[in-house]
């Protein structure tokens, strides 16, 4: 069973998912490349680098998460990567926004070195919880929502 059946809408959806995957993966990769080429490294940039890395994880697996590729292990890995990458990059962007707000409001920098790994761990926890719940119900899941290629 497919979402749209073998119709024009199905082909448009698959094409748009592929285009979104290619464009977003290219953008995330180019941001990572630019950060590495800057040759300036501080903890604020490392937070942005970590956020973009998780975003790239989300972007790369977006297509195989949305479209039925006919490969069940790829679908499971894609769903896990999308859950972890999406939630962690979102939470890291919130942390970066809060650091920027603190710096602008109080006009002083924050020493993130003692908190860097704690920030990454705390931002990863919600995605890990979703992954654990996903794995627990994996035996009962039917992927009827996926669109066939």
pLDDT score for 146: 61
Task: Give the per-residue pLDDT at 78.
Answer: 93
Instruction: Tell me how far apart the 2 most distant CA atoms of the chain are, in Å.
Output: 58
Look at residue 84 in the predicted model and tell me its pLDDT: 95
Predicted confidence at residue 16, as pLDDT, reads 92
Ordered DSSP codes for the chain: --SS-SSHHHHHHHHHHHHHHHHHHHHHHHHHHHHHHT----HHHHHHHHHHHHHHHHHHTHHHHHEE-S-HHHHHHHHHHHHHHHHHHHHHHHHHHHHHHHHHHH------GGGHHHHHHHHHHHHHHHHHHHHHTGGG---TTSEE-
CB 82 within 8 A of CB 40: no
Structure tokens at 16: 């748009």
Query: What's the whole-model pTM score?
Result: 0.84
Q: How far apart are CA 98 and CA 78, in angstroms?
A: 30
Give the per-residue pLDDT at 72. 81
- Note down pLDDT in tens along the chain; length 149 residues: 444 557 787 888 888 999 999 999 999 999 999 999 998 888 889 999 999 999 999 999 999 888 878 888 888 899 999 999 999 999 999 999 999 999 999 999 888 888 999 999 999 999 999 999 888 887 666 666 565 65
The whole-angstrom separation of Cα 77 and Cα 88 is 16
């Amino acid at each position: 069973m497919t979402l749209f059946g073998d119709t024009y809408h199905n082909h448009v959806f698959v094409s748009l998912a592929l285009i979104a995957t290619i464009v977003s993966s290219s953008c995330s990769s180019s941001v990572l490349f630019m950060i590495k080429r800057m040759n300036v490294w501080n903890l604020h940039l490392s937070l942005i680098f970590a956020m973009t890395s998780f975003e790239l994880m989300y972007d790369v697996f977006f297509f195989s998460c949305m479209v039925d590729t006919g490969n069940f292990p790829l679908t499971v890995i894609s769903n896990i990567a999308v859950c972890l990458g999406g939630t962690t990059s979102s939470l890291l962007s919130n942390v970066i926004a809060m650091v920027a707000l603190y710096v602008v409001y109080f006009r002083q920098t924050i020493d993130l070195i003692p908190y860097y790994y704690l920030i990454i761990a705390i931002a990863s926890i919600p995605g890990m919880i979703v992954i654990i719940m996903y794995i627990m119900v994996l035996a009962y899941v039917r992927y009827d929502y996926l669109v066939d290629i």
